[in-house]
Amino acid sequence: MVCYQHLRDLREDADKTQREIGELLHTTQQQYAKYEAGIQEIPAHHLLTLAEYYHVSVDYLLGRIEWEQQKRWNALLEAGKGQPQNDPPKRESGA
């Protein structure tokens, strides 16, 4: 199971409770706590809602990119230089 550390970090940075984010997602605090802890996988529609709410990518929420990469994406979008590509990250060969 994936641990969604970025979910907790973003929620705490926004001074929100698990209950408040649960309400945003139309679910309970208990269910949302399971998402943060990685006990239960978070549905795609919840990831999309949270990405929009926090102004981050789903890749960031899933831990596929770190904050420095997210900031670069945000800067590109703000500058109007294009949309981030949805291509999967390139993996080094020989793994």
pLDDT of residue 10: 93
- Give residue 24's pLDDT: 97
- In this prediction the pTM is 0.69
Tens-digit pLDDT string for the chain (95 aa):
455 788 999 999 999 999 999 999 999 999 999 999 989 999 999 999 999 999 888 888 888 766 676 667 666 667 775 555 554 444 454 54
The C-alpha atoms of residue 39 and residue 15 are separated, in whole angstroms, by: 23
Q: Structure tokens of 57? A: 């990518």
pLDDT of residue 89: 46
